[in-house]
Structure 1
Amino acid sequence: MPTYSALTTLTGEDPARALGEAMERMEPEPYGVGVFEVEDGSGIWEVGGYFHEAPDEIVLEILATAFGAKSFLVSELPDVDWVAKVQRELHPVDAGRFFVYGSHDADKLPEGRVALQVEATMAFGTGHHGTTLGCLLAFDRLFTEGFRPAKVADIGCGTAVLAMAAAKMLPEALVIASDIDRVAVDVAEANVAINGLEGRITCLEAAGFGHRRLAEAAPYELIFANILKGPLIELAPDMARHAAPGGKVILSGLLVVQAEAIIAAYQAAGFRLEDRNDLGEWSALVMVRE
């Protein structure tokens, strides 16, 4: 069965989000609406709706005019099993001692590696993206140097690949994975089970550290946060409150050009830069709580 997309761009976050909310009230109702900035700091936002039947293009034009957006581009999408397609095209990832793979590559698992099975899903963080890879490599380096944190938090965990890497290497550690998105938490719990880590990782729905169990377990010797520049900067004071003295935070989800702003925000919150690894256009930072 074909599906349809309707995409437009406009200037400003507030009108973009308002347009997205207006699209959710359309008939036929979209099964999904996305609103995001085209490029960080550009001020240009894309708004897209996805429909099981052709959307009313007259209504779309009225909405575009009302919110100062360009005319919607409506496209019929091919009937493709996107998860299966992505699974076929994703290859295993080597990240230091870690080997990230999908079930379709289970026969490629090399001996002596720490296996992390992650399926292509709606949650971010399969290990293939430069940000997740950078975090895994940073943790691999710290572990090689003898770093053994007793408490680990993975904030914005997505698939929980980072939490699982910690749980596999630190069998005695307390590990908590949290995400603001309920779907991501469900995906994280499924991946934890697939990897035989049930009972080792607690998965929570929370914005930042906004959950009682996250607060009660603090302070943490290691915190992962593979999210975006804006939330990373907003979280800097909370990171300082929840990190143990001498504790480390591994930060990513940021472009190389954004790294200096993140470093400055965390230095202002009481951290110092220990390591930085740029992979293509993406950067991963290791900051230490003074």
Structure 2
Amino acid sequence: MSDITPASWTALTILTDRQAAEGLGRALEETMEPDGVGVFEMEDGSGLWEVGAYFAEAPDQTALALLAAAFDARPFVVSEVPPTDWVAHVRRELQPVEAGRFFVYGSHDADRVPAGRIALLIEAAMAFGTGHHGTTQGCLLAFEELLADGLAPVSVADIGAGTAVLAMAAAKVWRDVPIIASDIDEVAVDVARANAAVNDLAGRLTCIEAAGFAHPDLAADAPFGLIFANILKGPLVDLAPEMANHCAAGGYAILSGILNPQADDVVAAYDAAGFDLFRQRSLGDWTTLTLRRR
């Protein structure tokens, strides 16, 4: 199978209301049969929602205009996406990431792994959150600091794990600690399992599909001494009560996916749920929080 995708088209619009955005997403699927539809809260703290649809052929712009008007959305912006070799593109763009003792790399950089580091291989073809994002680097650095403090949890969870970089980092450090990597997306869970296998960790962590903490395996291993959650502000705030219910007293939560101006809101939500701010770090536009359960 070729890694080069054929030309395609995107149609993007913005709305002010979540309910309307989700309704527009459903209407697009029902009336225009796109290859895919995405509904996302924008990460700039504006409260706006983006709806995107993806088409193999140029979409009917009259139909798009009618749908935008029906849901009080801005006019769709339609763009053609040229054929792209995405694996080659990712390999060019992604450089190894160093975070304390951890070294995240792709197979094309295997000859650059320093001696004495904990190496985490993420294949470019599996770039579902590659570990090269500043939020993941921030989480690894926060993890490094807790390790220096002598952290020794009974169990670990990585919520919204993506490629499971953070869960794998924990599995590399602790051989006998139960570690669960969960994600709401089935594809992400498959990628996490594949990454665990190529890092010789297939038997050391459990990869499951779950929304938040809604899975019996997470209930069975709770309370966790360490919980990673590198997602976004909205889901993090929503998860605060459940995070508290599943975190051991004196345990830690490392949170990221938080834009710098959003950090105070997340800290406030977790303070109300029973966590104290332990450390805070900003890398570029992103903040990582280390919180301790009271």
Range of TM-score over shorter length? over 0.9
User: Could you say if the C-alpha distance between residues 259 and 244 of structure 1 is closer, same or farther in structure 2, counting changes exceeding 3 Å?
Assistant: same
Residue type of the alignment partner of 2:232: L
TM-aligned CA deviation for residue 19 of structure 1:
0.9
User: Could you say if the C-alpha distance between residues 270 and 38 of structure 1 is closer, same or farther in structure 2, counting changes exceeding 3 Å?
Assistant: closer
**Counterpart check, 1:18 vs 2:23:** yes
Residue type of the alignment partner of 1:4: W
Residue type of the alignment partner of 1:5: T
Structure-2 residue corresponding to 1:283 = 287
- Aligned mate of 1:247, from 242, 247, 251: 251
- Aligned mate of 1:167, from 145, 167, 171: 171
TM-aligned CA deviation for residue 36 of structure 1:
1.6
Distance in structure 2 (CA, Å) of the matches to 1:219 and 1:44:
35
The residue matched to 2:31 in structure 1 has which SS? coil
Structure-2 residue corresponding to 1:274 = 278
TM-aligned CA deviation for residue 123 of structure 1:
6.0
What RMSD, in angstroms, separates the aligned Cα atoms of the two structures? 1.5
CA contact (8 A) 1:87 1:119 kept: no
Count residues in correspondence.
289
Residue type of the alignment partner of 2:149: E
TM-aligned CA deviation for residue 140 of structure 1:
0.9
Structure 2 unaligned blocks of 5 or more: 1-5
- Aligned mate of 1:225, from 223, 226, 229: 229
Distance in structure 2 (CA, Å) of the matches to 1:70 and 1:236:
33
CA contact (8 A) 2:128 2:191 kept: no
- Map residues 46-65 of structure 1 onto 2, 5 A cutoff: 46-65=50-69
- Aligned mate of 2:9, from 4, 10, 13: 4
TM-aligned CA deviation for residue 39 of structure 1:
4.1
Q: Which deviates the most, 227-236 or 167-176? A: 227-236
CA contact (8 A) 1:156 1:225 kept: yes
- Aligned mate of 1:74, from 78, 94, 100: 78
The residue matched to 1:104 in structure 2 has which SS? helix
Distance in structure 2 (CA, Å) of the matches to 1:7 and 1:63:
12
Distance in structure 1 (CA, Å) of the matches to 2:223 and 2:241:
13
Distance in structure 1 (CA, Å) of the matches to 2:228 and 2:176:
18
The residue matched to 1:25 in structure 2 has which SS? helix
Name the TM-score, length of structure 2 as normaliser.
0.94
Q: Which deviates the most, 113-122 or 135-144? A: 113-122
- Aligned mate of 1:142, from 146, 151, 169: 146
**Counterpart check, 1:102 vs 2:126:** no
Name the TM-score, length of structure 1 as normaliser.
0.95
TM-aligned CA deviation for residue 96 of structure 1:
0.7
Cα offsets for 1:190-216 (capped at 9, x unmatched): 100010001100001001110011101
TM-aligned CA deviation for residue 22 of structure 1:
0.9
Cα offsets for 1:111-162 (capped at 9, x unmatched): 1110001124576432221111110001111112221222100011011000
CA contact (8 A) 1:88 1:104 kept: no
Moved over 4 A (4+): 121-124
TM-aligned CA deviation for residue 45 of structure 1:
2.1
Structure 1 unaligned blocks of 5 or more: none
